[in-house]
Amino acid sequence: MKSKEVLKQLRPYKQGKQTKDIQKEFGLDYIVKLASNENPYGFSDKVKELFQTNKPDFNIYPDGYTTELRSLISETLNVRPESLIFGSGSEEIIQMLCRSYLSVGDQVIMTTPTFPQYKHYALIEGAEIVEIPVEEDGSHPLETMLDAVQENTKIIWLCSPNNPTGTALSKQELQDFLVKCPSEVLIVLDEAYYEFLQQEKDLDAIHLLNEYKNLIVLRTFSKAYGLAGLRIGYGVADALIVETLDKVRGPFNTTSLAQQAAAAAFSDQEFINYTYQENKKVLAQFQDFLTSIGWDYYPSEANFLLVKTPESGMDAYDFLTRYGFIVRPGELLGIPNTIRVTIGKEEDMKVLQSVLQDYHNQLN
């Protein structure tokens, strides 16, 4: 048997160490997972209440049109219901985008480092990848990305705030970019960390959709909403894009459980606000601590921080793991000598800081 040639050069997604692995390996009780930018405060009580009273019919297929959640989001964002596409995580929408818009020999443009699935799925479709390194501060090199556009460019990927650097685009930057970008090129704006952005930094991307029919905005319930385990995210775009994606979408790609939970979570913006406020406070504390020991980091508008480490990121990762802190070494993210740390709860971050202080002292 012979699979697609390109698969020989790809590796299955290697997930970070799981809490259970560390428990076993180091015999630890206290473990804090700060590796996948999940919400440390859990999820909305409305979701908990929902499943205490409402037992879904697991024997019945989900609503393939996601009717209830669709109308809720379309009303709140003030977009047409036909402008929404749902996926098993926004990750699946990334996959659908590649399946729908890329053929062998097409070109895609992205920055590096960024979310690895843009590249992975594009390679599977046989596309040629142009990766342009982030600027010094971790932001998108937008001008250089535009310069790389060719006849065969199909998709440009933008991630704001960018994972793993945490830097966000400004409204002006995005607007200038959209004006200059040829309208045949699809622009994907991945806003997985949208809820962590300060209000005044909101790109207002949803409004821009009226003007730019070649733009799709991706959002997810996995991060601030705390529903990563349920796998649900959505895209907002012109109805024509959604219609195209719908042709490659599996008919029942999101579960009834996920749809109901997402609707309950979406209607609890108080929880999102709480998450936002806590994250902002603890992120600032963590940044202050790093500054106090002379460590540098990228400016973050998200719920994680990319920290520059004195030795390799792997070395810091190994040290932290022994104390029960699971972070992501930059070596695995394409940006060596860094670690990406999800901003956890205040009390856990205090402990992390003391472990980092020990690590720092030990190196000096």
Ligand X SMILES: *Cc1c(COP(=O)(O)O)cnc(C)c1O
CB of 328 to ligand X, least distance (A): 11
Relative orientation angle of helices 239-248 and 90-101, to the nearest 10 degrees: 90
Q: How far is Cα of residue 333 from the mean position of the Cα atoms in its chain?
A: 13
CB of 238 to ligand X, least distance (A): 21
Strand-pairing partners, residue 332, are none
Contact region with ligand X (CB under 6 A), list: 98-106, 219-227, 236-244, 260-268? 219-227
Cα torsion 141, 144, 147, 152: sign: negative
Kindly tell me which residue out of 66, 163, 167, 300 binds ligand X, with binding defined by CB under 6 A. 163
Cβ-based neighbour number of residue 288 at 10 Å: 10
Regarding 190 and contact with ligand X (CB under 6 A), the answer is yes
Residue 126 C-beta: closest distance to ligand X, Å: 23
The reply to whether 220 sits near ligand X by the rule CB under 6 A is yes
Stretch that binds ligand X, among 11-19, 123-131, 169-177, 215-223 (CB under 6 A): 215-223
Question: At its nearest, how many Å lie between ligand X and the CB of residue 355?
Answer: 25
Residues numbered 295-334 forming contacts with ligand X, rule: CB under 6 A? none
Total binding residues toward ligand X, as defined by CB under 6 A: 14
Q: How far is CA 253 from CA 231, 233, 265, in A?
A: 10, 11, 19
Q: How many CB atoms lie within 10 A of CB 70?
A: 20
Residue 66 and residue 361 in contact, taking contact as beta carbons nearer than 8 Å: no
113 vs 359, beta carbon nearer ligand X: 113
Q: Among 199, 222, 241, which residue's Cα sits nearest to residue 79?
A: 241
Contact map string, positions 78 to 117, toward ligand X, x by CB under 6 A: -----------xxx-----------------------x--
The CB-of-85 to ligand X minimum distance in angstroms stands at: 13
Starting at the edge strand found earlier in the chain, the sheet holding 215-220 runs 84-87, 233-237, 215-220, 186-190, 153-159, 107-112, 128-133
Q: With respect to ligand X, which residue has the nearer C-beta, 181 or 230?
A: 230
Nearer to ligand X, 313 or 356 (CB): 313
List the interface residues with ligand X, window 4-43 (CB under 6 A): 37
Contact 297, 306 (CB under 8 A): yes
CA distance 325 to 338: 15
Which is closer to ligand X, CB of 326 or CB of 356? 326
CA torsion through residues 273, 276, 277, 278, sign: positive
CA distance 193 to 80: 23
Cβ 304 to ligand X, closest distance in Å?
Answer: 9
Taking the complex as a whole, how short is the minimal distance between the CB of residue 24 and ligand X, in angstroms? Answer: 26
CB of 192: closest distance to ligand X in angstroms?
4
Closest separation in Å from C-beta 194 to ligand X: 10
Of all residues in the shown chain, the one whose CB is closest to ligand X is 89
Q: Among the candidate windows 75-83, 207-215, 217-225, 325-333, which touches ligand X by CB under 6 A?
A: 217-225
The verdict on 159 binding ligand X (CB under 6 A) reads yes
Binding residues for ligand X, rule: CB under 6 A, are 37, 89-91, 115, 159, 163, 190, 192, 220, 222-223, 228, 233
